[in-house]
Structure 1
Amino acid sequence: MGLKMDRRKKYTRYVLKESFIKKMHEKPLSSITIKEVCEMADINRSTFYSNYKDLYDLLSQIEDEIIADLNNTLSSYNYNKDDEAIQMTEKLLEYIAENQESCQVLFSEHGDPAFQKKVIMLAHNHLLKSWFPGSSMPDENKQYLTLFIANGSIHILQTWLKNGLKESPKEMAELITKLATKGVSAFQ
């Protein structure tokens, strides 16, 4: 009986998340009601409240899952090697492509700017830890460089999502890695 309830609860959360993301494609969070999400998910309001406090709690849980997944991917690679940097970036972009609908919303103007900042800081911290072991570059410059790369990469990602993922994750990974490691000189 417990297994059946677990599956039912997972399904309920899944349909609520999917319905919520669809609504966020249509309008900003501040204009979405729990009633609309429940109607779209074909779930009653009491079921919603047994899973989430409010829409912000639902959004927070969606964001936290994505942050955890991104962190796990970033933690499993060594960025010092160009091949691994491309593979890691490609894995991240594959994850984003697989979760395109959620990511399009979360990285769009309807998304939470705090979430986007968390993703930037996650990338920044991973780059800072792994790109500069033994480097004589001043710490302040390391900070600026990794923030520049993380912010630029997020904006490339947003444009890629907005354009409907026309390029493959591998093509985008190569582009981002080239820009991060060689800058404009990679294209001259």
Structure 2
Amino acid sequence: MGGKAEYKSAIRSRRLIRQAFVDLMQEKNLEKITVTDIVTRADINRGTFYAHYQDTRAVIEQIENDIIEKLLEFLGESHYKNFFQNPLPLLLKISKWLEDDLNFYKILINSNGSEQFLVKLKNIFVNYMENDSDIQKHIKKTPEFLIQAHFFTGGIINIFQVWCRGEIESSLNELSIELSKIITNNSNLFF
């Protein structure tokens, strides 16, 4: 019984640390957030923080790793391997996932220092298209494929970023549908 209570306590502590970190990201540059800032905001002691994280960089790395893990999980589902032919299911799944914790993702995407993480996401998605998608190997080796893979991936990430800043007034579902139309209408090179 003690193990389950400890597990719940650990989950609660990590959630409080994450929320405090995200709240602080709205007020400060990432580099200026300190452990003291986090423990004060989360109303926990330093020992609790250090039981879960080595430093503030470890918090952001864990957040990034959780997001990357989720994206890779989505990409690994076999019915998303034909992304260029039918991007809508994956885009809708990503939109639903964002909506589940929208405030968090808006803050994360709009924070100073998010550019490196967004580039990491783009590279993961391009790598997926190069290695795991159902596109024929001889096509994946062409410069045209790489140009389009980088173009669409960068565009998708940018559109979500612009939406998170409030510059596009639409639902995430509407955004996904429009992106899907653009991708399917302009990726016939691969099929």
In 2 relative to 1, CA 156–141 (structure 1 residues): closer, same or farther, beyond 3 Å?
same
Alignment map for 1:143-158 (pairs within 5 Å):
143-158=146-161
TM-score, normalising length from structure 1? 0.87
1:17-56 equivalences in 2 (<5 Å): 17-56=18-57
Alpha-carbon deviation of 1:101?
2.5
Q: CA deviation at 1:181?
A: 2.3
Q: Tell me: CA distance 1:42–1:136, structure 2 relative to 1, closer, same or farther (3 Å).
A: closer
Asked if structure 1 preserves the Cα contact closer than 8 Å seen for 2:20 and 2:41, the reply is yes
Cα displacement (A) at 1:105: 2.7
Pick one of 112, 118, 121 that aligns with 2:120: 118
Residue 69 of structure 1 corresponds to: 70
Deviations 1:44-75 (A, max 9, x none): 11211111011100100011001111111122
**Which structure exhibits the higher relative contact order, with contacts defined as CA atoms closer than 8 Å and separated by 6 or more residues?**
2
1:141-180 alignment, distance < 5 Å: 141-163=144-166, 166-180=169-183
| Long gaps (5+) in structure 2 | 187-191
1:99 alignment partner in structure 2: 101
Give the AA of the match of 1:70: L
The structural deviation recorded for 1:99 is 2.3
Range 43-52 or range 105-114, more displaced:
105-114
The code of the aligned residue for 1:156 comes to I
Question: TM-score, length-normalised on structure 2?
Answer: 0.86
Instruction: Tell me how far apart the structure 1 counterparts of residues 182 and 136 of structure 2 sit (CA, whole Å).
Output: 21
Between the aligned residues of both structures, percent identity stands at 24
Paired AA for residue 68 in structure 2: I
Does residue 1:85 correspond to 2:56, yes or no?
A: no
1:80 is paired with a residue of what secondary structure? coil
Q: Does structure 2 conserve the Cα–Cα contact (< 8 Å) formed by 1:105 and 1:111? A: no
Match of 1:186 in 2: none
Which segments of 5 or more consecutive residues in structure 1 lack a partner in the other structure? 184-188
The number of residues matched between the two structures is: 183
Q: Which consecutive aligned stretches of 4+ in structure 1 deviate over 6 angstroms post-superposition?
A: none
Whole-angstrom CA distance in 1 between matches of 2:71 and 2:95:
10
TM superposition shift of 1:164: 7.8
CA RMSD of aligned residues (A): 2.2
CA distance 1:164–1:137, shift in 2 (3 Å):
closer
Which residue type is aligned with residue 120 of structure 1? K
Deviates more, 1:142-151 or 1:110-119: 110-119
- The Cα shift of 1:38 comes to 0.7
